[in-house]
Amino acid sequence: MKGRERSVALTVAVGLLTCQMLVALALIPPWQQPDETSSVARVEMQRHQLDLLDDSPNDNREGEILQSMNHYDWWEHRVSRGQPPPIIPKDFTSSSTVVGVVPALGVRSTTYFLIAGHVLSWFPRLSIVEDLYILRVLSAVFGMLTLWIAWLGARECLGTLGGSTVALLLALHPQFAVVSTTAGADALANLLGACMWWQTTLAVKRAQFLLPFAGVWCTAIVASSTDRMAVPLLAIAFVVSGVVMAQRTTNAKRMITVIFVALTLPAAAWILGTAGESYGLGSVFSSSWLPVDEARNWSFFGRFTSFVHQSWWFSLGWVRYAPPSWWAMIAVSLTAIAAVGTGRQLVDLGTPGALKRMFIALAVIAVALQASALYWIYFRLGNGAQGKSLFPVLVPCLVLLWSGIETWVPTRLRVHAAAALIVLLALLDMAAWTLVALPAYYASF
């Protein structure tokens, strides 16, 4: 595939993702994405501190948000047949048991809120819904950048066909489009995770490794200051450091690697110590290391794992709207085929070379570390978790999805297999929007 053909694949992917984002922006009502309420309030507070718009000490506009939630039927979509409170509260703190919203005050600003607050400060004071949509569009910009970076990273480790396939799979991933049009930190964390994977492929593959190796650590540190579910990227960076050091043939290059890691550790510790407070990172280690009683059975483990997998593929709103069972079974089948195919490659029963096999192993480790953090934070405490918590390693996930499937297909037929997989995901994507999203939200407008 020549340069022009590569650009055509990326252009098609950009067009497909743009269409999905426009549908999501037009169809999903305000506040119906997880954590948009508290996220917008925190951005408003940061914007107020930058602009000093009025004399109020903490103008996070919680009262306006709650009135807008009532206007757009937030309670009806949040809980089946839910009713708003008889008197709409003025802030989240006094009504947290009623609206289920985390208070926005009393926390430090993380990277996302600093960036988003600056973006809002570029505009005059608008309605709270208009500010919400500015932040949704900002997330869409991050999502589009993620697509481009994913294409670059997948192309480095899987070649031209693999890079194009991963880009198109990402563009057609329904949950990625949903997350990338949510006013919150997820889209930025996902972009940084994709950047880290791209830099990982360059650090492992190229002789001039120092600059991309620095990129691995910089993106991991910034991501960990953006969202707590991006903190596992620091552990992944340590694994990448070991691989890079093992690959270097001279003691001088190995020493450079060790020194660089040692210099970045204080920065990582400082970030976690300051930003970690903002998203309750300390609470992760505050309870027993053993699972709570309700999590100590296979039934809960099965339900937890099933929902994480399903919502990784597609789940709307505050996890109320799910795809049909046949849709979920197709997703399970694709995952199972890819998982077994990945196992074949790792034990060298397939055909990849040593470098490709190393990238597959790194992708498996990245996904395993991210999943371990998700189970530690949520499963251990008996809470549910959404599949979007795995999105900081979404690109390695899609690399494994395609590489695991392609190992079952003869080399001469892999272009056809990639096309078939893309068509299948396009059909699933269309079904998700028409069978789930449209019936759920169309009446709200």
Res 85: pLDDT: 79
Res 435: pLDDT: 94
Res. 268 pLDDT band, cuts 50 70 90: low
Give the chain's count of helices (H) and strands (E): 18, 0
Angle between helices 128-171 and 36-51 (to 10 degrees): 120
199-211 per-position pLDDT tens digit:
999 999 887 888 8
Residues forming a β-bridge with 316: 321
Write the CB contacts of 335 (distance below 8 Å, at least 6 apart in sequence).
Answer: 309, 401
Angle 442-443-445 (CA atoms, 0-180°, nearest 5)? 75
221-231 per-position pLDDT tens digit:
899 888 888 98
Query: What CA–CA distances, in Å, run from 284 to 269, 270, 376, 377, 388?
Result: 16, 18, 8, 6, 18
Task: Return the number of other C-beta atoms located less than 10 Å from residue 187's C-beta.
Answer: 29
Strand, coil or helix: what is 36? helix
pTM: 0.90
Which token pair is 103? 């208070």
Over range 316-327, report the average pLDDT: 87
Res 246: pLDDT: 79
Strand, coil or helix: what is 316? strand
Write the CB contacts of 40 (distance below 8 Å, at least 6 apart in sequence).
Answer: 61, 65, 128, 131, 132, 135, 183
Q: Rounded to whole angstroms, how far apart are CA atoms 339 and 132?
A: 39
Res. 267 pLDDT band, cuts 50 70 90: low
**Domain spans in the chain, listed from the N-terminal domain onward:** 36-125, 185-444
Q: Please report the DSSP string for 371-405 in residue order.
A: HHHHIIIIITTT----GGGGGGGHHHHHHHHHHHH
Res 1: pLDDT: 45
